[in-house]
Structure 1
Amino acid sequence: MWNIILRRIMIMIPQIFLLSLLVFLMAKAMPGDALTGLLDPSIDPKALDEQRERLGLNNPWYVQYWDWIRNAAQGDFGQSFRFKMPVMDLIGQRISNTFWLALATLVFTYLIAIPLGIISGRYNDTWSDRLITGYTYLGFAAPLFIFALVMLWIFGFHFGLFPTGGSVAPGLTPGTFSYVASKFYHLLLPALSMALIATVSTVQYLRSEIIDIKHKEFVLTARAKGASESRVYNRHILRNSLLPIAAFFGYEITGLIGGTIIIESIFSYPGMGQLFLNSISLRDFSVVTALVLIFGIATILGSLLSDIILGLVDPRIRIK
């Protein structure tokens, strides 16, 4: 198992290098640069040209890439041109919000998906199964940003049950119970909005696994030997059905990356996703490239995590 993990990590190194190159080239292909479109019209264009020369923005792309990747390997992604602070410090202010939002979404996703998938698979072709399947069809059809906007309008603006923006109420002291409760209260609606859409694939997958395993020979044999129905489901059907779901955990993490960007923008939630969109509109390339690289590495690590979990939960499976 450790040899497999080591081999996958060695494969990840050129993947990350190629990702960094693509990220940098795409950022350079964007129109303008960080000094384009400054709001102050009184700035002398010659001063801007001198600033570009000083910052190395006029150097060939491969020189700029080498300087960037060399500094990034040391954890230095440069300075944010718009926020006037180091990029890693800026990301550090937002990363905790995104982490807790993603964690809450994962918890809600599995708390909702696993019971619904079990009920739908165990009692397939019943009214409960039809209702759950109808919910999943609606979830597949509804775009996340539309669903999130509807949730925000209904529970945020119309009924006023949840905050409509921010990550914590102003004036609270960090570390106090009121502060922690406010943080959880602010992320509850965004996390639920994302989880209710993220559950549909897990519910359908678990339902299909349970229905398929119910007709396997070892299940029929267990029933023929007189095993109780609860024992058949708990020890044979459910246990084997949850193995792929456990392996799917890493891919759930990668799916949250795109979801948090949309959700944070809609709910004005100050995380890395909102910072990413703002940095694109502001042409803050140093922040954009750093965030895309971080998101890409997280996606690669999520894929690796899924492979590791699959090998751990089912010793019969070994990734060659």
Structure 2
Amino acid sequence: MATSTPIADRAHRRGRGPASRGPLVIRRGRAAREGRSVTLTALTAIMLVYTLLPLAWLVINATKTQEGLLNSFGLWFAGDFALLDNIGTTFTYNGGIFTRWLLNTLLYVTIGAGGATLLATLAGYGLAKFDFPGKKGVFAVVIGAVAVPGTALAVPTFLMFANLGLTNTPWAIIIPSLVSPFGLYLMWTFATDAVPKEILESARVDGSGEFRTFFRISLPLLAPGTVTVLLFNVVATWNNYFLPLIMLKDPDWYPLTIGLNAWNQQAGTAGGEAVFNLVITGSLLTIIPLIAAFLLLQRYWQSGLAAGSVKE
């Protein structure tokens, strides 16, 4: 017959036995998790407000006239809803130059970002799947290029293009945009695991050439990474400001970033007209294509970021 010691009896009577500690530990763990959940929710809400507040300000003020911008609270609507009028005036102001800037931006993005994505995909795939002398040196150069900010290369690039007579032309924006060290590094890393060597060896045994193997077999497997690099390049080219600023003098070749800044600076020039309502409306129209691109390609983008993060 089992007997209990006086110490065990006292502990059991005071609620300190092993059976009584279980619910207490569970309650404490649940309270800690709830506390962390509340903190995380609060931080997420703060970041959400911080992210969406500028967008909300842009949308609200795009509905105001020039006078309404100066006579109303920035985060609330004015008496007149002038969004449609502002959009129409934006496209017709100064001879419809905004449309020209939009087409210029689309040109730079289509050729520059598209070409950069194609070159990064080809080069990343080749560096990941082929061995050749000097491969480690190429890797070091790519990593070094990623670490160098684009503004540090702007002045040397300008001097080089000035000697070639290519400044104040679209090529001064397109050619530098074709180089994407980060995109190359990303595709190199992605292609290493995304395309199994066994598939390539089977295709070669069946007599498939390297280009046919790439376009028919490897490229579909690289689609998530390619879309990810494309989004990064599109955003970088669409928002490019410093390079067009030093390369272009003719307003007919301005992208949207430089053109809207020129409108914004009109108020500070002698005899210039203040068109802040058009600057805000043009900025809203400028970000709509980027938002649409992210929403349409979101699932590919998320897949591309996660690929290669887990190794079997």
1:140 to 134, 137, 146: 146
The 1:63/1:301 distance shift into structure 2, 3 A limit, reads closer
C-alpha separation in 2, matches of 1:92 and 1:237 = 39
Is the CA contact 1:21–1:65 (under 8 Å) kept in the aligned structure 2? Answer: no
Mark the CA change 1:99 to 1:155 in structure 2 (over 3 Å): closer, same or farther.
same
State the shift of 1:132 in Å: 3.4
Equivalent residues of 2:102, 2:255 under 8 A apart: yes
Residue 163 of structure 1 aligns to a residue whose secondary structure is coil
The count of residues paired between Structure 1 and Structure 2 equals 238
* Residue 164 (structure 1) aligns with: 167
Aligned to 2:171: 188
Structure number with greater Rg is 2
Matched, 1:119 2:126: yes
Deviation at 1:195, TM superposition (A): 2.3
Q: Deviation per CA, 1:7-46: give whole Å up to 9, x if none.
A: xxxxxxxxxx96653226899xxxxxx9xxxxxxxxxxxx
Deviation at 1:118, TM superposition (A): 1.8
Counterpart position of 2:236: 255
Work out which of the residue numbers 267, 282, 298 in structure 2 matches 1:291. Answer: 282
| Match in the other structure for 2:226 | 245
Structure 2 residue runs without a partner (length 5+)? 1-51, 268-274, 303-312
Secondary structure at the aligned position of 1:65 is classed as coil
Q: Distance in 2 between matches of 1:56 and 1:26?
A: 9
The 1:128/1:206 distance shift into structure 2, 3 A limit, reads farther
Cα distance change on mapping 1:291 and 1:118 into 2, 3 Å: same
Match of 2:293 among 295, 299, 302: 302
1:95-110 map, 5 Å: 95-110=102-117
Q: Answer yes or no: is the 8 Å Cα contact 1:276–1:288 preserved in 2.
A: yes
| 1:59 matches 2:60 | no
Distance 2:245 2:135 in 1: 34
Residues 210 and 238, structure 1, Cα contact 8 Å, conserved in 2: no
Question: Which residue of structure 2 lines up, in the alignment, with residue 202 of structure 1?
Answer: 183
Deviation of the 1:246 alpha carbon: 3.2
Question: In the alignment, which residue of structure 2 is the partner of 1:44?
Answer: none
* 1:131 Cα deviation from its structure 2 partner: 4.2
Cα distance between partner residues in 1 of 2:207 and 2:244 = 45
**d(CA) in 1 for partners of 2:206 and 2:182?**
30
SS at the partner of 1:286?
helix
Cα distance, 1:226–1:292 mapped onto 2, change above 3 Å: closer
Deviation at 1:281, TM superposition (A): 3.4
Partner of 1:71: 82
1:137-170 C-alpha deviation (Å, 9 max, x unpaired): 23312222332321110231xx3x13322xxxxx
How far did residue 294 of structure 1 move?
2.1
User: What amino acid is the match of 1:288?
Assistant: V
Q: Under a length normalisation based on structure 1, what TM-score does the superposition of the two structures give?
A: 0.59
CA distance in 1, matches of 2:85, 2:294: 23
Is contact 1:106–1:195 with CA below 8 Å preserved after alignment? yes
Do 1:265 and 1:274's aligned partners in 2 also have CA atoms closer than 8 Å? Answer: yes
1:306 and 1:62 mapped to 2: Cα distance? Answer: 33
Aligned to 2:22: none
* CA-CA distance at 1:300 after TM superposition: 0.9
Structure 1, unmatched stretches of 5+, are: 1-16, 28-33, 35-51, 166-185, 312-320
Percent of aligned positions that are identical: 12
The residue type paired with residue 289 of structure 1 is I
